[in-house]
């Protein structure tokens, strides 16, 4: 659907490029995660995809057409839900939706249908008459999302849509976003919360310093070659086992260990039993995005 080929971008006066040869293929359907720490270049890429900035070099096509031509042919094809609140605080929810629907050029009948659909999707029914400035952080995010959906975009760009929301609204937002591909909208979801990306994205690109460090189906990225075991014990891991398995501490009595062969796991469990450590939890053979990111960059996503 979206093909990004060798795209670079440098802000005026900046010493380094914000995007440095980004190449990505984003298929139709699904939620595609753009994961990276602050300053990685996510917002810059999203702004270029939304037409707010032009790439310094490289090509982008949507369904085989250059991006600008695709947007000119169908101005509603791509919608952006920005990181900031993008509505008028003193207008009510309905007034905001009516205004932004009008900007999109929706007919009266379309406007009514789309506003009803967006309100239902974002579950804003209880607050339609409230000025936006009186909404909680979570409801503001939901209004932002509802506005983005008014034109029934083929591609929805979500720039960190859960920043500053309470856990309940976050859960609701993530569930709603995961359901969008089934309604015909492909989603690009930027975040520095790897748990969110792991929860709702089928494919992921990890970006840092304007470059793609890894890209692919989430399951394939997280499947590791080396066997990895996550253990939770009732006691400290004995030091000899820690060094033999290159253990990394993951919190109180939680460890991440490496195995070199299939026979290593029963041996490890025997050794733990001999040392008097009971295993409370055990997970085998799967990375998580935080570890993958650390392996690629030698630092944490939260740095
Ligand atoms: N208007 C600007 N002028 C100059 N440099 C900028 C500007 N906006 C962003 N940058 C720089 O470009 C790089 C990429 O920033 P960008 O906002 O795209 O990253 P991000 O991954 O979206 O981070 P965040 O999660 O903090 O929004 C950073 O080094 C940032 O400092």
Give yes or no for residue 82 CB within 6 A of ligand 1: no
Instruction: Count other C-beta atoms under 10 Å from residue 65's C-beta.
Output: 15
Ligand 1 centroid distance, CA of 43 (Å): 7
Give yes or no for residue 44 CB within 6 A of ligand 1: yes
pLDDT band for position 21 (cuts 50, 70, 90): very high
Domains and CATH numbers, the chain: 2-221 (3.40.50.300), 224-286 (3.30.70)
Handedness of CA 273, 276, 281, 285 (dihedral sign): negative
Give yes or no for residue 11 CB within 6 A of ligand 1: yes
Q: In this structure, which residue's CA is closest to atom 25 in ligand 1? A: 38
Q: In this structure, which residue's CA is closest to atom 17 in ligand 1? A: 43
Give yes or no for residue 39 CB within 6 A of ligand 1: yes
Checking if the pLDDT of 286 tops 80, the result is: no
What are the tokens at 17? 């490029």
Ligand 1 centroid distance, CA of 40 (Å): 7
The residue behind tokens 């009186």 is 134
Checking if the pLDDT of 25 tops 70, the result is: yes
Give yes or no for residue 302 CB within 6 A of ligand 1: no
Closest ligand 1 atom to the C-alpha of 19? Answer: 14
What are the tokens at 84? 């900031």
Ligand 1 centroid distance, CA of 19 (Å): 10
| pLDDT score for 84 | 87
The pTM of the full predicted model, rounded to 2 decimals, is 0.82
For 126-162, what is each residue's pLDDT tens digit?
999 999 999 988 899 999 999 999 999 999 999 988 8
Which of these ranges, 160-169, 207-216, 234-243, has the smallest mean pLDDT? 160-169
Checking if the pLDDT of 8 tops 80, the result is: yes
Mean pLDDT of the chain: 90
Q: What is the mean pLDDT of residues 254-274?
A: 88
Q: Where are the alpha helices (DSSP H) in 64-215?
A: 67-73, 93-103, 108-121, 137-149, 167-178, 194-200
Give yes or no for residue 38 CB within 6 A of ligand 1: yes
- CA pair distance 117, 160, nearest whole angstrom: 23
Closest ligand 1 atom to the C-alpha of 16? Answer: 29
Query: Closest Cα partner for 117 from 144, 148, 150?
Result: 150
Residue to probe by mutation, ligand 1, list 7, 13, 14, most atoms within 8 Å of CB:
14
Contact present, 7 and 22 (Cβ < 8 Å): yes
Residue 99: C-alpha distances to residues 22, 111, 118, 140, 221 (Å): 35, 10, 14, 16, 42
Contact present, 149 and 117 (Cβ < 8 Å): yes
- CA pair distance 116, 200, nearest whole angstrom: 25
Q: What is the mean pLDDT of residues 6-34?
A: 95
Backbone angles phi, psi at 9, to 5 degrees: -155, 135
> Which residues make Cβ contacts (< 8 Å) with residue 130, sequence separation at least 6?
92, 93
Give yes or no for residue 18 CB within 6 A of ligand 1: yes
| pLDDT score for 302 | 57
- CA pair distance 257, 246, nearest whole angstrom: 6
Helices first, then strands: H and E counts in the chain? 11, 14
Checking if the pLDDT of 163 tops 90, the result is: no
Rg (CA), the chain: 23
């Amino acid at each position: 659907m979206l093909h990004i080929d060798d795209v670079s971008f440098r802000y005026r006066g900046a010493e380094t490029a914000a995007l440095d040869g980004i190449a990505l293929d984003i298929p139709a359907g699904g939620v595609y995660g753009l994961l990276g720490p602050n300053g990685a270049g996510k917002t810059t890429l999203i702004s270029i995809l939304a037409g707010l900035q032009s790439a310094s070099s490289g090509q982008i096509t949507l369904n085989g057409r250059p991006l600008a031509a695709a947007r000119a042919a169908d101005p509603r094809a791509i919608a952006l839900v920005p990181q900031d609140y993008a509505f008028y605080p003193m207008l009510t929810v309905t007034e905001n939706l009516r205004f932004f629907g009008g900007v999109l050029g929706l007919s009266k009948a379309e406007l009514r249908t789309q506003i009803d659909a967006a309100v239902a999707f974002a579950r804003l029914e209880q607050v339609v008459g409230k000025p936006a400035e009186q909404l909680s952080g979570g409801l503001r995010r939901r209004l932002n999302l509802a506005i983005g959906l008014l034109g029934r975009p083929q591609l929805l760009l979500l720039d960190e849509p859960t920043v500053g929301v309470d856990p309940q609204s976050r859960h609701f937002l993530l569930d709603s976003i995961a359901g969008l591909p089934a309604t015909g909208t492909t989603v690009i979801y930027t975040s520095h919360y790897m748990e969110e990306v792991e929860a709702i994205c089928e494919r992921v690109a990890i970006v840092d310093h304007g470059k793609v460090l890894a890209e692919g189906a989430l399951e394939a990225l997280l499947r590791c070659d080396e066997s990895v075991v996550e253990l939770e014990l009732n006691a400290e891991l004995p030091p000899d086992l820690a060094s033999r398995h290159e253990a990394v501490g993951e919190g109180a009595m939680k460890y991440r260990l490496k195995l070199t062969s299939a026979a290593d796991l029963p041996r490890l469990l025997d050794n733990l039993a001999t040392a008097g450590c009971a295993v409370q939890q055990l997970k085998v053979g799967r990375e998580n995005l935080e570890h993958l990111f650390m392996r690629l960059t030698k630092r944490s996503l939260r740095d």
